[in-house]
Amino acid sequence: MKVVNIHANVYRLPPSVPWEDATNKVDGLEFIVVEVTADNGMTGTGISYTVDIGGTVIKTLIEDYLANLIIGMNPLDYERIWQHVQRQSRRLGLGVNSMAIAAIDTAIWDLIGKIHNQPLYKLLGGARDRIPAYISEIDLRSDGTIDQLTDRVKGYIGQGYRTVKIKIGKPELEEDIERIAKVQELLGPGGTVLVDLNQKWSAAEAIQKGTRLDKLNLGWIEEPMLYQDIQGHRQLKQAIRTPIALGESMYSKQQFLEYLKADAVDIVQADVAFVGGITEWLKIAHLADAFGKPVAPHFMMELSLHLLCGVPNSYMLENVVGGSLTELGLLEIPIEVRGGMGVPSELPGHGIVFDRDALQKHLLDPAALRNTFAGGSK
């Protein structure tokens, strides 16, 4: 068996609700979709994504450089394929190349699932058949009100969620504290609030403000400061008892290893699209397990669902409001969290079946994008 064809496209569309956090306002999600076809006629579908920028770069990297490296290889040799494309692209550093590899790697794993007629989570270990989920919103608009926040949270509770993640990072910490307290009041006993800073604070601010938040019994504080600052996270972890979660801005198992060795993280949030796909994500999950840390992957709910059900040290599934493929109207077969629980598809592979007509409406034309990109970073 061998790979005979690889094709990639990139699609751009806005989240189904506005996204804004302490450091960024998102205009568009870019999904890179790859089809890998074997000589037995089976096709695996892979996916990666970017926020606002870079989708066309990843598509070009795949089609002009990486695809030819894989043609003729056996799709069952996923590790050999991953190592081959990683070695050839490593001089690009970390980021774009690992996101391109992720699209290929998830297609390979989808194809393997179809070859063996097994759902992905069983191929990855089958540690469980369902996983608790939390709802995650990206809504920190300057004109947003606490009443609007509480109205949204009431809706999440009505959907069965008992854990809610909100963005913080207002100019005045007292406003963040008030927002947290209101959400906790609504959730009541047994409910949990998670908060996300998106790297807003400096190291000094993180200790000062994190110490004040420490009294609120939060489930975690996510990305409190720049992700490169391992020492700052270690010092914060020593200063507070609230767990620290991070990982969405890291791209390799080596980066996670440095955090784990420094005892600077409590919950590992590797994003399958950013670390190079399922092959590398599994290594990060097992590495975290060796250090006694749970995994709670960032975004990519449909793929993360399988990952979490495959490994033993799973924590929770993130369902981002406005960002699931189902909410975006891109799937033929909806994949949804029900009653606060995620249940993976039993279809062979990852079970993500795109509505091709819906995708086509969002096909990205590089010429139309060129000279119009303004960015959303604050």
The CATH number of the domain holding residue 85 is 3.30.390.10
Distance in angstroms (rounded) separating the CA atoms of residues 31 and 56: 10
φ/ψ of residue 299, rounded to 5: 55, -155
| 376 pLDDT more than 90 | no
pLDDT in tens, 110-122: 999 999 999 999 9
Same domain, 240 and 361: no
Tell whether 58 is covered by a domain: yes
Tell whether 377 is covered by a domain: no
Same domain, 177 and 158: yes
Same domain, 89 and 127: no
Same domain, 265 and 139: yes
* Residues of the domain holding 159: 121-342
pLDDT in tens, 138-194: 999 989 999 999 999 999 999 999 999 999 999 999 999 999 999 999 999 999 999
Same domain, 168 and 233: yes
| 371 pLDDT more than 90 | no
Same domain, 47 and 96: yes
Same domain, 277 and 132: yes
Tell whether 372 is covered by a domain: no
Distance in angstroms (rounded) separating the CA atoms of residues 293 and 220: 13
Total domains present in the chain? 2
**Strand partners for 194:** 165, 220
Tell whether 373 is covered by a domain: no
What CA–CA distances, in Å, run from 316 to 68, 245, 264, 335, 337?
A: 37, 12, 20, 16, 12
Other Cβ atoms less than 10 A from the Cβ of 339: the count is 10
For residue 167, the model assigns a pLDDT of 98
Same domain, 108 and 145: no
Same domain, 15 and 159: no
For residue 345, the model assigns a pLDDT of 95
Distance in angstroms (rounded) separating the CA atoms of residues 1 and 3: 7
For residue 378, the model assigns a pLDDT of 86
Q: How far is CA 279 from the centre of its chain?
A: 15
pLDDT in tens, 339-360: 999 999 999 999 999 999 999 9
Annotated catalytic residue 167: yes
| 314 pLDDT more than 90 | yes
Tell whether 282 is covered by a domain: yes
Tell whether 351 is covered by a domain: no
Distance in angstroms (rounded) separating the CA atoms of residues 314 and 307: 9
Residues 202-211: what's their mean pLDDT?
A: 96
Tell whether 91 is covered by a domain: yes
CATH number, domain with residue 208 = 3.20.20.120
Residue of 167, 306, 350, 362 marked active site = 167
Same domain, 131 and 66: no
3-class secondary structure per residue, 229-271: CHHHHHHHHHHCCCCEEECCCCCCHHHHHHHHHCCCCCEECCC
Distance in angstroms (rounded) separating the CA atoms of residues 329 and 22: 27
For residue 368, the model assigns a pLDDT of 85
Tell whether 85 is covered by a domain: yes
For residue 356, the model assigns a pLDDT of 96
Which residue pairs, CB below 8 angstroms and at least 24 apart, start in 181-190? 181/216, 182/146, 182/149, 182/150, 182/153, 183/149, 183/150, 183/153, 184/216, 184/217, 186/150, 186/153, 186/154, 186/157, 187/153, 187/157, 187/162, 190/162
Helices (H), the chain: 55-61, 67-70, 78-89, 96-116, 120-123, 146-158, 173-187, 203-213, 230-239, 253-261, 278-290, 301-310, 356-360, 366-369
Query: CA Rg, the chain, in Å?
Result: 20
| 375 pLDDT more than 90 | no
Residue of 59, 122, 200, 298 marked active site = 298
Annotated catalytic residue 306: no
Same domain, 317 and 249: yes
- Phi/psi region, residue 296 (left: phi>0; alpha: psi -120 to 50; beta: rest), is beta
Same domain, 139 and 109: no
